[in-house]
Amino acid sequence: EAGVTQSPTHLIKTRGQQATLRCSPISGHTSVYWYQQALGLGLQFLLWYDEGEERNRGNFPPRFSGRQFPNYSSELNVNALELEDSALYLCASSFSGSKAGELFFGEGSRLTVL
């Protein structure tokens, strides 16, 4: 069974550009979580989608946005890129609600902003 897949693996952008990251959850999972892991800052919660809706948002500016598609895959968009957006972006999926259990993580997308 396929795990959580993320694309692209690496992405290089310049300041002011936009970046789009994609995530496909494990089959049967309806919840998708996005985390930012910048150097030395641990995992910072970005967004949580479940059943196609945004359920919770971390303390990030509005230029970080995303969506979840009917097949439960998800996209993270970062507009007006800044140097400090350089980080590993991790996606995780889980079952929904009372069956949530553990998170399953993808390998991440490394975003570099020059």
Q: Return residues touching another protein (CB under 8 A).
A: 4, 31, 33, 35, 42-43, 45, 48, 56, 88, 90, 92, 97-98, 100-108, 110
Q: Which is nearer to another protein, 58 or 67 (CB)?
A: 58
Q: Which is nearer to another protein, 11 or 88 (CB)?
A: 88
- Nearest approach, Cβ of 21 to another protein (angstroms)? 13
Q: E-assigned strands of the chain?
A: 5-7, 10-13, 19-24, 31-37, 43-50, 53-57, 64-68, 74-78, 87-94, 104-105, 109-113
Cα 78 to chain centroid, rounded: 10
Shortest approach of another protein to residue 80 CB, angstroms? 26
Tell me which residue of 84, 51, 89, 87 sits closest to 67, measured CA to CA. Answer: 51
Q: Which is nearer to another protein, 60 or 105 (CB)?
A: 105
